[in-house]
Amino acid sequence: MKRLLLICLSLLFTFGILAGCSSGSTSGTDDKEGTKDTGEETVTLNLFQFKVEIADQLQEMITEFEAEHPNIKVKLETVGGGADYGAALKAKFASGEQPDIFNNGGFKELELWKEHLADLSNEPWVEHLLPIGKVPMTDTDGKLYGMPVNLEGYGFVYNKDLFEKAGIKEPPANITELKDAAEKLKDSGTTPFSAGYGEWWVIGQHLLNIPFAQQEDPIAFIEGLYDGTEKFTDNEQFKQFKEVLDTEINFGNDNPLTTDYNTQVTQFAAGQTAMLQQGNWTENMIYEVNPDMNMGFLPIPISDDKNADRLPVGVPNNWVLNKNSEHLDEAKLFLEWMVSSDTGKRYLTEEFAFIPAFDNIEASGLGDLGQSILEYSKEEKTIPWTWFRWPDGANKEFAASIQEYAAGKIDYDTLLERFQKTWDNLK
């Protein structure tokens, strides 16, 4: 009897072990699960980014990364274009859905988010980072908190064939020549500008950057605005800004205040307009509509000064990592793979049409716009991007004031007063 009891107990114990093993092999959490091939845990990285123009290509790159790293999955979410990425990111953190990888513009934005960011100073890719790529995300202690997405430039993208049709032999390099070109284009039956004044960042950030960047010392001017020694209303460059603003409005498409990014770019790509105030990030979208587009960049001039012929070139944004991520090592691996693997480099240059911010990545596969940015950069005909140094939220208020001016609701003196009031209220 005792022997029979021992046998039964032994069988129950064995079944218990088997049941426990079976249960353990199927259990998991929200971001971890067993992999059949390696037995390693699979982790999921949440990537939250704003560049809508590369969303599809970025997803394809992620698929290739996952194939090479079967224990890492990357969940991509894109919010950008006409949507407010900054507000959406703040909502993510407020709700507890903090991404592992996201974007940060640097400077003032670095200060706002620094408490959430991982120090990337000792990552392998840093030794190949171009000097311009370090500036936005380096703090006062010399620590680096972001990896630049790429280098970009913007200005007036122009259709060379439409310019030739209008009899414009030389691309305009100053405000007088730009006005003359607009007149000739209009006379030839072509709408000169595709003005996307429905987008706050097009006018309140990129366009308004020009008088900031054309200062003799842009950083000193901005510091002067903060300490009260400089004023918009007294500044010569901001007085000159009226010329290019009026030119684009008067020679632009119908209903610019309701023209969004997609409409603006599509108008130009379809040959309905001759100039587009945008950057080289529009290249893929333009070629999708018109693969044979013959285009390049013009400056956004505010005067006839020789320095008017310059393009704003800078780091548009940076990849940053949430320092509280449970999968920080895997997130670091993803960034390193993007700029060191052959696959990652190919996507950056050929699929994204990016100008790399690293000396170990050759700028191949660039289209007309990327090449134009490189030419201006090599000739040292560039001006900086300054909006990351502005008070948080100022760009949207600047845009609202420009929209009022474009609608004829306020005069230009009032516009400059609005700029000053916005700065003083938010600084």
Per-residue pLDDT of the chain (427 residues; tens, 9 = 90+): 434 333 333 433 333 433 333 333 333 334 444 444 456 789 999 999 999 989 999 999 999 999 999 999 999 999 987 778 999 999 999 999 999 999 999 999 999 999 999 999 999 999 999 888 999 999 999 999 999 999 999 999 999 999 999 999 999 999 999 999 999 999 999 999 999 999 999 999 999 999 999 999 999 999 999 999 999 999 999 999 999 999 999 999 999 999 999 999 999 999 999 999 999 989 989 999 999 999 999 999 999 999 999 999 999 899 999 999 999 999 999 999 999 999 999 999 999 989 999 999 988 878 899 889 988 888 889 999 999 899 989 999 999 999 999 999 999 999 999 999 999 999 9
Query: Shortest CA distance to 415 belongs to which of 270, 211, 272?
Result: 211
Query: Shortest CA distance to 298 belongs to which of 290, 309, 289, 314?
Result: 309
How far is residue 54's CA from residue 48's CA, in Å, rounded to a whole number?
13
In what helix (H) or strand (E) does residue 399 lie, and over which residues does it extend? helix 394-406
* Helical ranges in 349-393 per DSSP H: 368-378
Chain center to CA of 44: 24
Q: Say if strands 191-194 and 273-279 run parallel, antiparallel, or are unpaired.
A: parallel
Chain center to CA of 135: 16
Query: Shortest CA distance to 197 belongs to which of 316, 82, 52?
Result: 82
For the chain, helix, strand, coil in percent to 5 are 50, 15, 35
How far is residue 101's CA from residue 98's CA, in Å, rounded to a whole number?
9
Q: Specify the amino acid at residue 41.
A: E
May I ask the CATH class of domain 43-151+316-359?
alpha beta
Q: Residues spanned by CATH 3.40.190.10 within the chain?
A: 43-151+316-359, 152-314+382-426
Q: What is the pTM of this model?
A: 0.77
How far is residue 349's CA from residue 101's CA, in Å, rounded to a whole number?
21
How far is residue 85's CA from residue 101's CA, in Å, rounded to a whole number?
14
Query: Shortest CA distance to 124 belongs to which of 411, 351, 408, 333?
Result: 333
How far is residue 346's CA from residue 365's CA, in Å, rounded to a whole number?
9
CATH architecture of 152-314+382-426: 3-Layer(aba) Sandwich (3.40)
Cα dihedral 285→202→260→166 (10° resolution): -70
